[in-house]
Amino acid sequence: MKAQERKKIISVKNVSFTYAKNTPFEKKALEDINLDFYGNEYTAIIGATGSGKSTLIQHLNGLLKPDKGEVTVDGIDTKDKKAQGDLRRKVGLVFQYAQYQLFEETVYKDIEFGLIKRNVPEEERKKRVPKAAKLAGLTEENLKVSPYDLSGGQKKRAAIAGILVLKPEILVLDEPAAGLDPEGTRELFATIQNLHKSKECTVILVAHSMELVALYAERIIVLDQGKVVMDGTRDEVFGNEEKLLSLGLDIPEITKVMKKIKEKHPNINDRIYTVDDAKEEILKNLAK
């Protein structure tokens, strides 16, 4: 389905933001950002360190307010103080090291915490906590133990469950794989993909792994020095290697391999961005 046929759920119009404004430490983080996000979309935001990625996504649930311009979420202006509760219910934000914010005696209590703060009745909490845990890839046994007894990947999933239990329409994640080993990273991204498919929720994430972005994201937004410099499909973004390299970014490793293969086998398609697609392309050419 084309973006224009989908429901627009977040609109970012002419947004600029500066940290420590009017001080010697003033730093412009975003400059005249214009973006629309659509329902059920899986979007990755990439860019070099300091490009404004984390600043941008913190505007999507009103944690930060623009100096200029406006952000609206399903018609709610993020600057509207009276609508902050509705806004936070719509947009669930998982921070980069969210696993270090776990603090309760058990994983169950940690996931339940947000529901208690919102005065959700106990019977309803008993239904929602196990369901959110399962969606996030946790087992019933995980719920019984201390968060500190979980692996890094399990802690991250517990943090995500604590957001999912609040039933957000939009899940925003800032570098969700930060601090995880390769296996934990793969498992976590598979969980996020399953959430996207099963719940039909909108996923917006900041990521630095080009391989994972290529594998899962339907749309890729590239930031540089607080500006949107690329916004398109996987093919449109990764197909412009020269531009990405000039921004201090890269293409997936498998794409580099396919480019090397093409040097000796000109019929090979080198616009390949995942291992599975590479395997299919190579086998197709071997069969000729």
| 44 sits in which H/E element | strand 42-47
The residue written with tokens 């697609």 in the block is 277
The CA-CA-CA angle for residues 273, 279, 281, to 5°, reads 80
Q: What pLDDT, on the 0 to 100 scale, is given for residue 200?
A: 64
Q: What pLDDT, on the 0 to 100 scale, is given for residue 4?
A: 47
The segments of the chain whose pLDDT lies below 50 read: 1-4
Alpha carbons 112 and 129: distance in angstroms, whole number: 6
Cα 232 from chain centroid?
Answer: 16
The tokens describing 243, both together, are 């531009």
CA distances from 195 to 133, 159, 176 (A): 12, 14, 14
Q: What pLDDT, on the 0 to 100 scale, is given for residue 5?
A: 60
pTM for the model: 0.89
Q: What pLDDT, on the 0 to 100 scale, is given for residue 211?
A: 92
The tokens describing 63, both together, are 């944690």
Q: What pLDDT, on the 0 to 100 scale, is given for residue 127?
A: 94
Question: Which homologous superfamily is 1-94+170-249 in?
Answer: P-loop containing nucleotide triphosphate hydrolases (3.40.50.300)
Asked if 202 contacts 39 with a C-beta cutoff of 8 angstroms, the reply is: yes
Alpha carbons 279 and 85: distance in angstroms, whole number: 48
The tokens describing 8, both together, are 């627009």
Give 249-286 as a DSSP string: ----HHHHHHHHHHHH-TTS-----SHHHHHHHHHHHH
According to DSSP, the residues that pair with 202 across neighbouring strands are 170
Count of other CB atoms within 10 angstroms of residue 183: 10
Domain ranges of the chain: 1-94+170-249, 103-167, 252-288
Asked if 30 contacts 13 with a C-beta cutoff of 8 angstroms, the reply is: no
Alpha carbons 154 and 38: distance in angstroms, whole number: 29
According to DSSP, the residues that pair with 71 across neighbouring strands are 12
